[in-house]
């Protein structure tokens, strides 16, 4: 099996790297805060820079917060690109700009290496359980080479299209998730304001056409007032910024996405950056002057 590298060992990257190592992958890693002891004790080689990871690995996985972070890892001082050559594959699993991704892929290929964009859905729970959904853009040959590694981290792995297609798919995922959270929030808030038990409404709706994973999980968060993340609002804001900026570049109107972003912005203004994204409902509650579960006078 080819040697792999992993850059970015945060909430998502750490368990993803751990799952590669559990499956016997020879792994080199770098993160700015230092490779955690539990990984080095499991046999992961700690490196001093992204360049060192790229030097030691055939496949370099990246999982960092945003587009500038990926650019820095790839093309900054002691970046991955300085050690790329033919036969190596860069796999960016971050959620970043689809437009920038296409540029990054072209620049990596100029070095003779290949590039896949492979953002994920499933959150920390999915990362730990190796059950992530992985949406991939790039060549069939590169996808086939990396697929055994993807299968160690996820259960639903799909090649969507050429470079940038994985990021477009992830942006589409986040648009749907945000709009569905907003719809669930409106529905449960309406029920509660009308004096009906919102949790009983949620359970009843789970048996009908309105049923969804978001109604099941995030609807329960709303009725139980459980807004610890989960997936933080500030991260979903980043993803919707990507959706809206990409839409602007393509001349596409996303009115409901813009509304969801405005609601997230309102949450942030009330100190909600670190709330779970189901906490969007709090902005709706503010507008209604009513909290789900609140007794009507």
What secondary structure, in 3-state letters, does 60-115 show?
A: EEECCCCHHHHHHHHHCCCCHHHHCCCCCEEEECCCCCHHHHHHHHHHHHHCCCEE
Whether residues 10 and 155 fall in one domain: yes
CATH of the domain at 153: 3.40.50.720
Whether residues 108 and 248 fall in one domain: no
45-46/114-117 β-pairing: unpaired
- CA-based nearest residue to 123, from 239, 269, 244, 44: 239
Q: How high is the pLDDT of residue 1?
A: 64
> Which of 162, 191, 213 is a domain's end point?
162
Whether residues 142 and 203 fall in one domain: no
Whether residues 82 and 32 fall in one domain: yes
> Which of 132, 162, 192 is a domain's end point?
162
Residue 240: domain span: 169-288
Task: List the chain pLDDT tens, one digit each, 297 residues.
Answer: 679 999 999 999 999 999 999 999 999 999 999 999 999 999 999 999 999 999 999 999 999 999 999 999 999 999 999 999 999 999 999 999 999 999 999 999 999 999 999 999 988 889 999 999 999 999 999 999 999 999 999 999 999 999 999 999 999 999 999 999 999 999 999 999 999 999 999 999 999 999 999 999 999 999 999 999 888 999 999 999 999 999 999 999 999 999 999 999 999 999 999 999 999 999 999 999 999 988 765
Whether residues 88 and 153 fall in one domain: yes
**Domain annotation covers residue 233:** yes
**Domain annotation covers residue 45:** yes
**Domain annotation covers residue 293:** no
- Indicate the number of domains in the chain: 2
For the question of residue 155 being annotated catalytic, the response is: no
CATH of the domain at 205: 1.10.1040.10
Strand partners, 29: 6, 46
Among 111, 170, 193, 297, which one carries the catalytic annotation?
170
**Domain annotation covers residue 296:** no
């Amino acid at each position: 099996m080819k040697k792999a590298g992993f850059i970015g060992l945060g909430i998502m990257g750490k368990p993803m790297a751990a799952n590669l190592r559990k499956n016997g992958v020879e792994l080199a890693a770098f993160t700015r805060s230092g490779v955690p002891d539990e990984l080095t004790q499991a046999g992961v080689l700690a490196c001093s820079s992204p360049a060192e990871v790229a030097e030691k690995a055939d496949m370099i996985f990246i999982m960092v917060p945003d587009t500038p972070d990926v650019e820095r890892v790839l093309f900054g001082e002691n970046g991955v690109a300085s050690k790329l050559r033919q036969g190596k594959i860069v796999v960016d699993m971050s959620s970043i700009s689809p437009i920038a991704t296409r540029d990054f892929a072209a620049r990596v290929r100029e070095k003779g290496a290949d590039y896949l964009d492979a953002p994920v859905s499933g959150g920390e729970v999915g990362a730990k359980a190796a059950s992530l959904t992985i949406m991939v853009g790039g060549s069939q040959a590169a996808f086939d080479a990396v697929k055994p590694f993807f299968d160690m981290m996820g259960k639903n792995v799909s090649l969507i299209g050429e470079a940038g297609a994985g990021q477009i798919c992830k942006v589409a995922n986040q648009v749907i998730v945000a709009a569905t959270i907003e719809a669930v929030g409106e529905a449960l808030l309406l029920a509660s304001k009308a004096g009906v038990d919102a949790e009983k409404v949620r359970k009843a709706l789970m048996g009908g056409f309105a049923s969804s994973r978001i109604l099941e999980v995030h609807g329960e968060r709303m009725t139980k007032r459980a807004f610890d993340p989960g997936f933080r609002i500030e991260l979903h804001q980043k993803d919707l910024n990507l959706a809206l900026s990409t839409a602007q570049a393509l001349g596409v109107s996303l009115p409901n996405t813009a509304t969801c972003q405005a609601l997230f912005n309102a949450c942030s203004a009330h100190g909600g950056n670190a709330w779970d994204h189901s906490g969007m409902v709090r902005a709706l509650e503010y507008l209604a002057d009513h909290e789900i579960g609140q007794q009507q006078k």
